[in-house]
Amino acid sequence: MDNDDDYFSDDFDSLPPSTLYQLEQHAFQATQAPATQQHDQPTVIEPVQAGASAPAFATLKPPPRLHTGLTNDYNTLEVGELEAEIHDNADGQSVLSQGHHALAADNGWPTNGGLGDVMEVDDEYGQANAYELNARLEQMEREREQMRRELAEAKMLAETKAGEIAIIRSKQTRMIEEYDRQLVALRKSMTDEASKHREEVEAAMSEGKMLATENIFLQHDLAEEAHQLRNYKTKHRAEEKAAPVTPRKSRVLPFRDGFDDDEIAALSPTKSAARSKRATPTVPGKRKRQASVDSPVPLQLSPAGETMIVDAPGGTAASSFEAEHELSGTDSRDNQVMKRLLNHRMFPGQQTDLEALTKFAFPSEPHRPLSSIVMDELAKLDLGSYVLEYMYIIGPLWQRALTERFYDPVSRFASITKYVFMMDDVPLLDLIAPLAGVLQDSVEVNAVPRFRYSPAAREKARVVRQTPQADLQPVDSTEALGLLYHMACGLLHVKGALESLWKHIRHTFILVMLHGSQPLKDIMLILQLLSTSIRPESFGPIMSSEQEQTDVQRYIVDRLTHMLSESAQPDEGMEPYTPYDICAMRLDVLLLLESLSFNPAAPGQEHGSSIIAAHPNALPRLFRSMHDELDALYSFPPERDLRVALVNGLMRLIFGVMRRHGRFINMQEKLACVPGTKQKHLVVLTRLAFCDGAILEAGIDDETIDMAHELLEEWTNPQEAESLAEAFPSSRRD
């Protein structure tokens, strides 16, 4: 049983099947060979030449101890001993077989019958080859372990480097975000400081202008009071000269009983008639003149001299002297003003106005120069002020020149008016009547032809034409409009003066000027002029009826909102306007709309905002303009600061009107009136509500974003709002 266990041991079974098969084949060949060959032929290992075929099998001489004389299939070989011998050398043979196979594979030898060749190698050679192979395998294993360790170290180093790089990148990202945040905060603070400084400067300038205006009117009031006093004195003196009466001497009477002394003296029967006679006053230091015998009637004295010497109280004489001196000073000042007016020149070194007017004559009176008309009218007028008299002559002459299309002296008249406005004590309120109408007519000389070529007047024309130079006259409309605006500014702090001015301004004049065909500088001046017409309950020209006033206000709002997107067209032959100039003009339009909607003088009034809310096209046009300005920001234009200001201002205006009158506004109905606005208003609100403001949208205020969010939430359902929030995860609001 023990031998059976050894025969079927695990060591023998662990050999590969191919090895067992080869061992059986070699054992069979060894036992079946002739005995002479088994005993006489030594074990020889012949090298196989390259290209030669290996022998089909090799003979192996078994050890002598194995020849037991058996005549079995194994002849005289005892099976048990052979198997024991093979089992004892199983490891070596396996190693030899593996080495032989490896060598045969490297040299291209055939592996058939390879174990027979290995079996021919003696035990020492097999052992040495096995040791060498084992050593080689161990060395390769050590190298593999070394490479494995190096690979693990390289991977660890790469992971460390990757972690360090990730840390550096995160720090850099935080630094960039912090820098951007600081930059935005710095820009915002600079903008706030600049706006604050600008407001302070404007307040200081407004206060200075107000003080200067008050000073002018105080001087004017003082001059008027002096003039009235002078007239009163003159009239009083004339009455006294007409009926001179000898004054009575004021003296202290002895009666102190509460009655009038003069009355008592006149009624007392005991008073001597001789004592009641008045004598001629004497001058101290002179001898009293004796009464003349030839003239029993006493002389009549001068009432003025008698009043100054006898009747005047302690300070009356001095006051009269000061009043006379003041009147003489007023006369002297008027004379100086008149000299300055008569000596005025358009440019230094040129002729005076009167000298220049001698060369001009109306077509209706070619033989009468304008200077002669001026001098004749000055001799007739007596208004108490040389300035008023002069301007009441220049105004009608200017109007007559425009009526007869005689434009040569118009520039001279405008220069005289500008010089008068620059004086200190000019009564502008009295100049409204002679100048307001003629200034408007001077502007309309070229404004009306420009209006005929505007898109509003040529709705059916397919091509927009520029105003030809042949239709324009040599009249500076900008100068005349500037004089009208200067007059309005001078009347700002005079109670009731602006109302008087806006009664003289025609609504057609305002509507003609609010078109893109007019020069940009004229449009900006008319916008500034309109800002002076804002009143608590109305704005614009003052009309005779309430319905007409409402209609004019609606027309003005219609033109202002249309100009936010209307193209500006210069005159023929002039340089085209730059986008910066157009944006500046539109910003002035927006500022005027804000002033109309939210009157700074009466914040509680909602008149202007109600006009905008009730207008069918005003709000849609504001949305369209805001969309176009925001869309233009994505090209990063040079005028981007003005466009950003337009976007912020338009959103403030829309939001303010909606908060005041939103419950009365059907926005969907209004948006349908202007083509394309229904889509644009959602697009612009979405862009503003979810903008990050990094580069292209820099400058958009956080208040603007909040207003857009609030309006968008009101006009979208919760599902749409949630989808929009998911579509814009990186918005500044989040």
Digit-coded pLDDT (tens) for 576-614: 999 999 999 999 999 999 999 998 888 888 889 999 999
Residues 6+ away with beta carbon under 8 Å from 38: 30, 59, 61, 62
Confidence of residue 423 (pLDDT cuts 50, 70, 90): confident
pLDDT score recorded for residue 622? 94
Burial zone of 64 (CB within 10 Å; 0-12 exposed, 13-18 middle, 19+ buried): exposed
Confidence of residue 669 (pLDDT cuts 50, 70, 90): confident
Within 343-380, where are the H helices? 353-357, 370-380
DSSP classification of residue 43 = -
What is the rounded average pLDDT of the residues 123-147? Answer: 85
CA 422 to chain centre: 35
Q: How many CB atoms lie within 10 A of CB 220?
A: 18
Distance CA 695, CA 710 (A): 24
Three-class DSSP category at 59: coil
Q: Which of 117-131, 237-251, 555-569 shows the lowest mean pLDDT across its residues?
A: 237-251
Burial zone of 563 (CB within 10 Å; 0-12 exposed, 13-18 middle, 19+ buried): buried
Within 454-597, where are the H helices? 477-490, 497-504, 507-513, 520-531, 546-563, 579-597
What is the rounded average pLDDT of the residues 540-557? Answer: 94
Residues 6+ away with beta carbon under 8 Å from 539: 530, 533, 553, 556, 596, 607, 608
Q: Which of 169-178, 278-287, 339-348, 414-423 shows the lowest mean pLDDT across its residues?
A: 278-287
pLDDT score recorded for residue 85? 42
pLDDT score recorded for residue 604? 82
The pLDDT of residue 53 is above 60 = no
Q: How many CB atoms lie within 10 A of CB 514?
A: 23
- Look at 481 and 331; give whichever has higher pLDDT: 481
For the chain, the C-alpha Rg in angstroms (whole number) is: 60
- Look at 18 and 688; give whichever has higher pLDDT: 688
Mean pLDDT of the residues in the chain: 76
What is the rounded average pLDDT of the residues 13-22? Answer: 69
State pTM to two decimals. 0.57
Confidence of residue 103 (pLDDT cuts 50, 70, 90): very low
Distance CA 462, CA 208 (A): 51
The pLDDT of residue 366 is above 70 = yes
What is the rounded average pLDDT of the residues 492-503? Answer: 90
